[in-house]
């Protein structure tokens, strides 16, 4: 800044230092921890053990590995006559990189293999075909979901390989997708940091405030008295949707049309007719949709009425880009991930309101699944899902 200038520019928000995310807590940390790191990966696994005891051991091993990974535990050195105990991708001391790992279970885990049918979360089901879906079975469902997030892709890949190595005879990969571009600070209400999706719009502007514990209890965490099995209290329903975007078609669409489809300005992220990204879209003042069309994505997703308040969800997805298809079109999209206390009241209701939205012409859900994220772990003798399997 020039000496003598009387109006200093506002200071840029401080960039948080990379850290180790604490593993223990009443809920799995990766759902709400901030900042949301730039890299993400969803992996779904098939479980190959035969009985409840085998499942118990697998969950114990996963937990032990995740504990070490999230704390940056250095790998043991070993006699060179044996393979090393880790891939070495991160050198001899994994640096702090905001790594978090979240484990969920799919409806298929509650079939007759482990005798857990009577412990299934009430609303957990195999994700059905929904509006506009072309679900590829090779990219859908699974017994276990693992979501990894970190500041760098090598940290994510390191953690994934360690987890797979540890559980190689119990878990096999069914599908996975990795992605990026959430931006440091995503999820915090500061215009400078809201990341953009691959349609070029800011994504995450209107989301639940993860620092508001009461709000999280209300909309994200299963509570006692919800009619869910006791072990599930503190967990959350996870809806994963791999949604391809027809980006070449989108890029040929008029800007005014793009903004009408979303309901927000592309550059600023403000609701149409407004200038502040975080302004309330004020639908009461616009009952006929003259400013924000009635079928705009944000208006259908959250009409902001007293009644639809119960349908709020926590979104924490990421962009993906995985080459191109046989017709030479880019294979890009959104790995949409949402957390909610009730799948019916949350994702499924929001999705049913979006059914037939004009944005559907530009997107196509191709995979994903419904999972139930296990409650967090409190105490060094406990493990993820212990109350489910004991
Ligand atoms: C590729 C698919 C999608 C794209 C490109 C997309 C894009 C966007 C954009 C640009 C916003 C506005 C910024 C923001 O508040 O975050 C938004 C908001 C939102 N979207 Fe999506 N979205 C997609 C899929 C979905 C799905 C599948 C759901 C749920 C079923 C959903 C639910 C929401 C909700 C609840 C909001 C916040 C609305 C508000 O509170 O004002 N979106 N989305």
Q: 298: CA distance to ligand 1 center in Å? A: 6
Atom of ligand 1 nearest to the CA of 198: 5
Give the pairing type, strands 236-245 and 144-150. Answer: unpaired
CA–CA separation, 170 and 163 (whole Å): 11
Q: Which of 135, 195, 206 to mutate to test the pocket of ligand 1 (most atoms within 8 A of CB)?
A: 206
pLDDT digits (tens, 9 = 90+) for 201-225: 999 999 999 999 999 999 999 999 9
Q: 128: CA distance to ligand 1 center in Å? A: 20
Query: Which pTM was predicted?
Result: 0.95
Atom of ligand 1 nearest to the CA of 194: 16
Q: Is residue 25 predicted with pLDDT exceeding 70?
A: yes
Tell me, using a 6 A CB cutoff, whether residue 347 lines ligand 1. Answer: yes
- The pLDDT assigned to 2 comes to 41
Residues in contact with 285: Cβ distance below 8 Å, sequence separation at least 6, in sequence order: none
* Helix, strand and coil in the chain, % to nearest 5: 25, 20, 55
Q: 299: CA distance to ligand 1 center in Å? A: 10
Contact 280, 270 (CB under 8 A): no
For 356, the token pair is 């037939």
pLDDT digits (tens, 9 = 90+) for 292-302: 999 999 999 99
Q: Is residue 5 predicted with pLDDT exceeding 50?
A: no
């Amino acid at each position: 800044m020039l000496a003598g200038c009387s109006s200093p520019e506002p200071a840029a928000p401080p960039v948080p230092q990379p850290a180790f995310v604490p593993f223990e807590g009443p809920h799995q940390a990766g759902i709400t921890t901030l900042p949301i790191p730039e890299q993400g990966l969803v992996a779904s696994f098939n479980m190959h053990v035969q009985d409840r005891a085998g499942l118990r051991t697998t969950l114990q091993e996963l937990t032990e590995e995740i504990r070490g990974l999230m704390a940056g535990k250095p790998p043991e050195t070993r006699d060179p006559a044996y393979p090393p105990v880790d891939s070495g991708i991160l050198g001899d001391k994994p640096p702090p990189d905001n790594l978090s790992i979240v484990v969920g279970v799919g409806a298929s885990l509650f079939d007759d293999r482990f005798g857990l049918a009577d412990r299934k979360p009430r609303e957990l089901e195999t994700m059905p075909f929904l509006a506009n879906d072309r679900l590829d079975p090779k990219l859908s469902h699974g017994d276990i979901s693992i979501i990894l997030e970190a500041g760098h892709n090598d940290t994510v890949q390191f953690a994934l390989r360690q987890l797979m190595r540890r559980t190689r005879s119990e878990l096999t990969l069914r599908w996975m997708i990795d992605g990026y571009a959430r931006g440091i600070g995503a999820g915090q209400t500061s215009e400078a940091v809201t990341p953009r999706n691959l349609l070029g719009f800011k994504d995450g502007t209107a989301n639940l405030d993860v620092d508001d514990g009461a709000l999280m209890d209300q909309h994200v965490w299963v509570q006692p008295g919800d009619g869910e099995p006791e072990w599930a209290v503190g967990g959350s329903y996870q809806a994963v949707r791999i949604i391809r975007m027809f980006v070449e078609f989108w890029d040929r669409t008029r800007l005014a049309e793009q903004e009408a489809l979303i309901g927000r300005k592309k550059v600023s992220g403000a609701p149409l007719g407004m200038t502040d990204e975080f302004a309330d879209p004020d639908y009461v003042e616009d009952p006929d949709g003259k400013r924000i069309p009635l079928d705009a994505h944000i208006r259908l997703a959250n009409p902001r009425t007293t009644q639809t308040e119960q349908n709020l969800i926590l979104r924490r997805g990421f962009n993906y880009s995985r080459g191109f298809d046989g017709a030479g079109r880019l294979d890009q999209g959104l790995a949409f991930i949402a957390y909610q206390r009730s799948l019916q009241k949350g994702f499924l209701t929001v999705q049913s309101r979006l059914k037939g939205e004009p944005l559907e012409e530009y997107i196509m859900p191709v995979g994903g699944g419904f999972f139930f994220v296990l409650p967090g772990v409190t105490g060094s003798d406990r493990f993820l899902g212990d109350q489910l399997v004991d």
